[in-house]
Amino acid sequence: MFMKNVSYWQALPYVYRAFLWCVHNTLEHCELTIDWPKRAEKLVGMEVPFCPTRLLLQDASGLNLVQDLISSTVNGSRLPPMDLVVDHGIITEDFGNKQSAARNRRTEMNANHHRYRFFKDASRIIPSLTIHPPGSGVIHQLNLERLAPQKASFSLDTPQDCVLGTDSHTPIINALGVPGWGVGALEALYAACFGPVSLAIPPVTQVVLRGKLRANCTPTDLALHLAHRLRRIGINGTWAEFSGPALDYLPIADRAVLAGMAPEYGCQMAFFPVDHCGIAFMERIVGSVRTQRWRKVAQIRGLWRENRPTRPVACEIIVDLDQLKPCASGPEYPWQRVTAISTKPVRLAAITSCTNGAHPRMLIRAALLARNALRAGISPAPRIKTVLALSSTRVMAFLRESGLASYLEQTGFFDCGIGCGPCLGHCGSLPPETTQGNDQGCAVISGNRNFPGRIHPELDAVFLASPEQVVAATLMGRWGGVIDPCSSHPFARLWAEQAEVEHYQAQWNNAHIPLQTEKLLRREAQEHWHHFRAEPSGEIQGLRKITASPLADIGTPSWIKSGSLNNAGVLVKLGDGITTDHISPVGPIPRESESGRFILMKSGLSTTPQSYAAWRANAEVMIRGGFTSPRLHNLLLTEQPSGGYTAIRGNNHTLPIWKAARIYRFRRVPLIVLAGKEYGAGSARDWAARVTRLLGVEAVIALSFEEIHRRNLITMGVIPLLYNQDNRHDIYAIGAEHRLTIRQLKDLAPESRQDCIVRDPMGRTATIPLTSAIRTEWEANLLMRGGIPSRMEKHV
């Protein structure tokens, strides 16, 4: 392989080197060969096969993968290692007291016993599946702290670790020099069952970091700054690689914060090469002997960071850390920079997220700020829901052992349970007393996403900031932007001195992790997991939460047999920035929604229908939840009801989207979704693609797609098609009465030209040129076979 050419190999970006070792593993395992180019620049766009060394699943999206596996006849003994982390089930309903974590965990077990029993049974059926119970930690932090260090290459005979995860923030592991990114559960299923997946090697965006973070700034400030800047530049479809002298001062915890925001930057990976910071991290976990072996392997493979230029690089972005100031994002997207805003009452304050909720230094700063406020006689403002939902049992144990947790508790931040919680939108109800006049108020959280309606349906404005800014917002009671500790703001004096922060940081760095406290935390959290009882059938009063996988019943798309999509109807017409939360919500199911009414009618229950995440293995519930976000605006309708409704051809009535889809299906009319730019942003939620296909949609026409959702659509047999900006007006002139025909689909290929013929109600036609958003021949072939559902039919 060309890695034997030293000058060639050393000129490549480190992310290419690490990934190509994964490709090398695949080629040896599958006995394949590739004609490698003689020039490094020719690697960009090259289609290569690869198999991940392992799969990383969380319980919400992983549920469907396990369901599909059990419904198939795939040989379970031949599957790759899979770790399923149960972290999405906890809802932080209870808060503000020492029993909050225990009560929330007990509620979680009662609400999800059917799913958790299913996971336990599945681990007995699938030998390679390991279940990590609730309370073990959040998936990405557990991967960083425990799984990846144990899977690292300690000898040259060990393959390079490469992870595919069914969560979009899987790139957190890039902080440790491990290639990994988020995919939908269907693509992970393909990788597990059918061999190598294919990827066109993306161009690399080099992010050069210079200087050092000042004492008034945090890694969260840098991550949000990068989200603002990189989204504005536009790096979609690339891999980002960090370089520059500032890497000497960025520990793995800081790098994880930056790498985890890769999907918010718009790229697939945000990679850091292996260096002395990784050594310091690994020594704490696996010991110095194994760490030195890891270092030697990295050096021999050319993965050890050296200060020399690399190529090919699509673009280079320079960031001066010493010029950075504290910042926040919001009120609706992680890449929105907060400018001057009128102050809003804070109704929810949450210290959470995979990385911010496990970053020792930032949590130390937040706790010391809380302590200084208490000493100054400043109490937290009333009527605010305060949530502490960390992602690491190790960090929670440290806060307790060091006494820092007590300062947070006195400010209202009691442990509400280890898990995703508020970052996912599982923050529970807001107490009635948090309502303040006519102003809906806002949330200030240390999470990584704030898409419209995601965090809480009652809150239109959600701001992302560092943990210390969350504490400051709680003390002030109103949010008007971040506080610079170096400013003249009255609260700036509450920030701790740098020497005191270093004192506690040294305790974390030098002392052994308080294992007894951590074990106690994990035992308390997992007590119900080991002893709970559940109905083997997985039924709730006659309604099954876990049904057979629907993949085999989807059927082949109409265009595969005819070669064209004829007289298609438009199911929904959407604007820009449509996220997977808009398409398939994950939060609480409103009682009055179509899904809520279905659950209550079928089950006879009078209690809450719970969340969509809890019902992901029941297709009937999920279909009724498709495109139902209250923040979704269907432009087919002139009078816009709250999301979930559409107009139908030949019918003047407004119907729920799932009912309109059934009418079209009865009439044998294929469907199309129209959208603007950045369609499918956000989570790697393959249910956004599943529900699209289950509603009868066979093509999505958009100005641009987010990468994960684009691939998810292809795996479900839905064609992603692009129009250009010049045709935007023509696209948005299309209504419910128009008929769309797309021909020559048998010639689908990467970036192939496809014409869309639009016929209006008067019979007049117009042609809109489209381009397929297909990147590789593998994707084209998969689409031509109807996606993964057609493969699963043969195995069910």
| Category of 670 on φ-ψ map: left (φ > 0), alpha (ψ -120 to 50) or beta | beta
The highest-confidence range among 285-294, 502-511, 525-534, by mean pLDDT, is 285-294
Q: Tell me the average pLDDT across 549-555.
A: 68
For residue 197, which of 51, 28, 34, 36 has the smallest C-alpha distance? 51
What pLDDT shows up at residue 605? 61
Residues 162/25, Cβ–Cβ less than 8 Å: yes
Statement: residue 437 has pLDDT above 60: no
Choice between 687 and 518, residue whose per-residue pLDDT is larger: 687
The closest alpha carbon to 558, from 693, 734, 648, belongs to 693
- The predicted model scores a pTM of 0.92
Per-residue DSSP letter, 762? T
CB 481 within 8 A of CB 384: no
Instruction: Work out the average pLDDT over 410-426.
Output: 93
pLDDT at 720 over 80: yes
According to the model, what pLDDT value does residue 643 have?
A: 78
pLDDT value of position 544: 57
Residue whose entry in the numeric block shows the structure tokens 């839905």: 718
Contact, 206 vs 13, CB < 8 A? yes
**Region 447-465 average pLDDT:** 89
Q: What is the pLDDT of residue 630?
A: 86
Is pLDDT at 517 greater than 80 in this prediction?
no
Phi, psi of 372 (to 5 degrees): -65, -35
Extended strands (E) in 275-421: 315-320, 344-351, 385-388
**316: pLDDT confidence band, cut at 50, 70 and 90?**
very high
Q: Which segment of 80-94, 439-453, 754-768 scores lowest on mean pLDDT? A: 439-453
- Segment 386-391 shows an average pLDDT of 96
CB atoms inside a 10 Å sphere around CB 435? 15
Burial class from Cβ neighbours inside 10 Å (0-12, 13-18, 19+) for residue 110 reads exposed
- CB contact at 8 A, 584 and 61: no
Confidence of residue 41 (pLDDT cuts 50, 70, 90): confident
CA distance 285 to 280: 9
Most confident of 302-311, 341-350, 700-709: 700-709
Residues 356/334, Cβ–Cβ less than 8 Å: no
Name the pLDDT band for 537 (thresholds 50, 70, 90).
very low
Q: How are strands ordered across the β-sheet holding 204-210? A: 269-271, 239-243, 204-210, 315-320
Inter-CA distances, 390 with 350, 421, 577, 631, Å = 10, 9, 29, 28
pLDDT at 13 (0 to 100): 94
β-strand partners of 50: 197
Could you give all domains of the chain from N- to C-terminal order, each with its CATH number? 344-527 (3.30.499.10), 551-584+632-793 (3.20.19.10)
Binning pLDDT at 50, 70 and 90, where does residue 540 land? very low
Q: Which of 220, 84, 116, 192 is nearest to 536 (CA)?
A: 116
**Arithmetic mean of pLDDT, 257-281:** 96
| Confidence (pLDDT) at 513 | 57
- Give per-residue pLDDT as tens, 194-232: 889 999 999 999 999 999 999 999 999 999 999 999 999
pLDDT of residue 796: 46
- What's the pLDDT at 354? 87
Task: Please tell me the least confidently modeled range out of 134-138, 302-306, 365-369, 438-442.
Answer: 438-442
Average pLDDT over the chain, rounded to whole?
89
pLDDT (mean) for 701-707: 95
Mean pLDDT of 703-723: 95
| pLDDT tens digits for range 50-105 | 999 999 999 988 988 998 888 776 666 688 999 999 999 999 999 999 999 999 99
- Mean pLDDT on 509-527: 72
Kindly report, residue by residue over 135-186, the tens digit of the pLDDT: 999 999 999 999 999 999 999 999 999 999 999 999 999 999 999 999 999 8
Q: What average pLDDT does this structure show over 317-344?
A: 89
Beta bridge partners of 239: 204, 269
553 or 426, higher pLDDT: 426
User: What mean pLDDT comes out for the span 767-789?
Assistant: 93
Nearest one of 391, 351, 57 to 256, comparing CA atoms: 391
Distance in angstroms (rounded) separating the CA atoms of residues 364 and 343 = 27
Q: What is the pLDDT of residue 530?
A: 78
Confidence of residue 543 (pLDDT cuts 50, 70, 90): very low
| Model confidence at 20: pLDDT above 90 | yes
For the beta carbon of residue 438, count every other beta carbon within 10 angstroms: 5
Radius of gyration of the chain (CA): 25
Instruction: Tell me the pLDDT band of 2, cut-offs 50, 70 and 90.
Output: low
Segment 716-739 mean pLDDT? 95
The yes-or-no verdict on residue 44 having pLDDT over 80 is yes
Structure tokens, 149? 């260090």
143: buried, middle or exposed (CB in 10 Å: 19+, 13-18, 0-12)?
A: buried
Residue 551 pLDDT level (bands cut at 50, 70, 90): low
First-to-last CA distance in the chain? Answer: 39
Residue 423 CA, chain-centre distance (Å), reads 11
